[in-house]
Amino acid sequence: MNDAKSGVESAVKADFAQVPLPPDGAEGEVREASAPAGPSQSQAEVAILEFEDPAGMIEEVPLNHPFRWKGEWLRKVSIRRLIFAEALRVNEEAQKAGREVTSIDLFAAMTALSAPVIRGMEATDADRVTKACLPFLPLTEEDRASP
């Protein structure tokens, strides 16, 4: 495995399994075992918020090696902070696929590029993009425990 792919694949992994969630029904009601499950966390209602510093939610990384993707030249990659519901959806999709969520899953959601496109980027550009994503990743329990 080359170093660039290895670096991306071994980057920080988000662990949403440790995130405490309130019970479905929000009022603390106990649902009977035979009752149908409510919507998944990613399908639950999400408020549309206007953030005070929208510019702080996005970072752009110019590419040293632009490439054509789906007929368009990509000369920069916009990285967007995920809202919590988006991070939950990424985690849910990984779980449905029978695997743990990885950083590249989150990078793909943040950049609106697929994981295969990120892996196909020139190595130094991919490294710069993924490093720019790191401060936008949700913290894991390990991250919180580190001094």
Residue 46 has phi, psi (to 5 degrees) of -130, 130
For position 61, what pLDDT does the model report?
Answer: 97
DSSP letter (8 states) at residue 32: P
Mean local confidence (pLDDT), 74-101: 93
For position 51, what pLDDT does the model report? 82
pLDDT at 145: 61
Structure-model confidence comparison of residues 15 and 82, the more confident one: 82
Tell how far CA 141 is from the center of its chain.
16
**Domain range list for the chain:** 58-139
DSSP 45: -
The Cα-based distances of 108 to 22, 24, 77, 146 in angstroms read 28, 29, 11, 26
Asked if 127 and 4 touch (Cβ cutoff 8 Å), the reply is yes
pLDDT at 142: 60
Mean pLDDT of 65-92: 94
H helix runs in 27-135, sequence order: 84-96, 103-111, 115-120, 123-133
User: Mean pLDDT over residues 85-89, rounded?
Assistant: 91
Task: Please give the radius of gyration of the chain, using alpha carbons only, rounded to the nearest integer.
Answer: 18
pLDDT at 136 over 70: yes
